Amino acid sequence: MPRKLSLISQTLVALILCLAIYPLSARSSTSQENNSNQDQNQTADAGNPAPGDQTKVPVSNIKSAPTDEGQLATVNNAKIPSYAKVYVAPIPGGFENYIIAGLRNKKVPLTVVIDRTKADYEISGVSDSEKAGWAKMLFIGSQNSNEQASIKISNLKTGAVIFGYSVHKTNSARGKQSAGEACAKHIKQIVLE
């Protein structure tokens, strides 16, 4: 009988200790997630996060890598299957056309569709173009424009953003065409061939 009592008491103590330790360990793991730039264990298609976690998930999943032209970010090394159907959303200034032309020029194995409902992925973004002013022409002798654009690719089924890229070209020899091709070149890196 006393042995039984001692066993029960030991179990109770263990339970209480577990309950006391668990919140501490959970808190420390959360702070580790916030500090690290990437979390390899989480899947790219984590689904829709809870409203409270919306700010946490992208920060922990996005991995940035320096490139020669801009900033590239992929989520857990996410890949797009070849010939996946991609919809390029309208971008102010008609930059979506330059992206599509860039995808073709760079031979990116994707199928671009004009109907969003038929697509698996969506490319959206912003672009900005700054023409050369008189000072640039006078002092530098350059009439090339400054181009900047930023795009992201999202999985339309899960809603997860799987890729992001931004490009900035100070003296773009071919204007928007160069920026569109730079975007396409980097999209190609995440397409499975």
Partner 1 sequence: MSFKRNVVSILALLVVAAVSTALAGEKNTPPTQKIPKGAKVFVAPIEGGYDTYLKDAIAKKKVPVEIVASHDQADYEITGTAESQKASTAKKVILGNWHSREEASITVSNIKSAEVVWAYSVHEEASTHGKKSSAEACAKHLKEAIENQ
CB of 57 to partner 1, least distance (A): 26
Q: Is position 89 an interface residue for partner 1 (rule: CB under 8 A)?
A: no
Residues 58-87 that bind partner 1 (CB under 8 A): 81-85
Q: Minimum distance between the CB of residue 165 and partner 1, rounded to whole angstroms?
A: 18
d(CA 57, CA 50): 10
Q: Are the C-beta atoms of 41 and 30 separated by less than 8 Å?
A: no
Return the residues of window 8-47 that contact partner 1 according to CB under 8 A: none
**Could you tell me the two tokens for 104?**
């073709």
Q: Which of 93, 124, 126, 188 binds partner 1 (CB under 8 A)?
A: 93
111 is a contact residue toward partner 1 (CB under 8 A): yes
> Does position 185 bind partner 1 by CB under 8 A?
no
Alpha-carbon distance 74 to 37, whole Å?
11
Residue of 37, 55, 137, 193 that binds partner 1 (CB under 8 A): 137
Q: Shortest distance, CB of residue 158 to partner 1, whole angstroms?
A: 15
Site string for partner 1, 139-178 (x = CB under 8 A): --x-xx----------------------------xxxxxx
131 touching partner 1, by CB under 8 A: yes
Site stretch for partner 1 (CB under 8 A), options 10-18, 37-45, 48-56, 94-102: 94-102
Residue 15 region, left (φ>0) first, then alpha (ψ -120 to 50), else beta? alpha
**Among 46, 59, 89, 112, which residue interacts with partner 1 (rule: CB under 8 A)?**
112
- Where along the sequence are the contacts to partner 1 (CB under 8 A)? 81-85, 93-95, 97-98, 100-105, 109, 111-115, 118, 131, 133-134, 137-138, 141, 143-144, 173-178, 180
